[in-house]
Structure 1
């Protein structure tokens, strides 16, 4: 009788483990090692189209705050490089923006002339989070983290009125961080730990 009970629990645990989805969030540094800049005429459109953004991923904009900022804007503002009424303004130089929902998200630099020079990016996020087959590694420029989950919505620091001119001095860029493989989220580790504990309890019984 004890054997049947153990076998039943083992089957249940195996079923739960087999159907469990491991959620993987990836941190994408916008522009990879180039970062967020106007130097080198970087193609942010090509960069974004080479990525598979999902809900839970995090966008990181790294830039020199003396020369750049990040504005989240509407599609029309993005097309026209209109910086007058952004949805959100980011000015830290190391802005982390978690993705909480699917859709298109538009970002540009609010310094005059930068958007027109190509410093803008359209992030297309899949509507549903799809599991990675076999825990495949992220595309280049992505490092794994467990999902944070703040919405891509209005908020952030206000842009100061000064410093609106185009800089004449070159900016410095920081070296690119190393890329790591994706890690399962904390929830998946917790779930696996509970499953192992239940199994150990049944076996000991």
Structure 2
């Protein structure tokens, strides 16, 4: 009985590890305190190296804050009237899909002006097998991050999570 439980635990752990591999790092914006007024977001973001595939986790009290992705101009002027995307769940994970700058601010009155805004610069992922491009050829241009709003990482990982759940159920059926 203990042997079957150990085997099942091992299979479930391996399945979950496989389902989660390939995902980038997830950064809690603002550190332990989350998305609040009073954090130096320039200092927070400058100490990290964001890559395509990483996620930003915004944790905040939705009664007082929100997250608005804006253009560079909107960021500089604290203007959230033409958002690229807006989030208000209090627990939002945004996947960084392209290299370039992403600009976020809190749209609550006065919060951006008080420093609740973050500029995240995203680099290309490190290739598994780096090889130089043939000379004379250029790579296609990468669209600016502002051209398409990010989506939730939960949607990106849904097939992997479904596979993990299916494999776990299957393991339970065969081991009992």
Unaligned runs of 5+ in 2: 1-20, 129-144, 152-159, 161-176
Query: 2: CA distance between counterparts of 1:129 and 1:96?
Result: 19
- Give the secondary structure class of the aligned counterpart of 2:103: strand
Unaligned runs of 5+ in 1: 1-21, 133-150, 157-185, 187-205
The structure whose residues are more often helix, as a share, is: 2
Q: For residue 82 of structure 2, what is the aligned residue in structure 1?
A: 85
Q: What is the CA distance between 1:61 and its match in structure 2?
A: 0.2
Q: What is the CA distance between 1:32 and its match in structure 2?
A: 1.0
Alignment of 1:139-178 (within 5 A): 153-154=148-149
RMSD of Structure 2 on Structure 1 (CA): 2.2
TM-score relative to the length of structure 1: 0.52
Alignment of 1:67-146 (within 5 A): 67-126=64-123, 128-130=124-126
Q: What is the CA distance between 1:154 and its match in structure 2?
A: 3.1
Query: 1: CA distance between counterparts of 2:90 and 2:27?
Result: 15
Query: 1: CA distance between counterparts of 2:90 and 2:40?
Result: 20
Question: Does the CA contact (< 8 Å) of 2:94 and 2:150 recur in 1?
Answer: no
Give 4+ residue runs of structure 1 displaced > 4 Å after superposition: none
Cα 1:24–1:85 shift into 2, 3 Å: closer
Q: Return the index of the structure with the highest Cα Rg.
A: 1
Aligned residues: 115
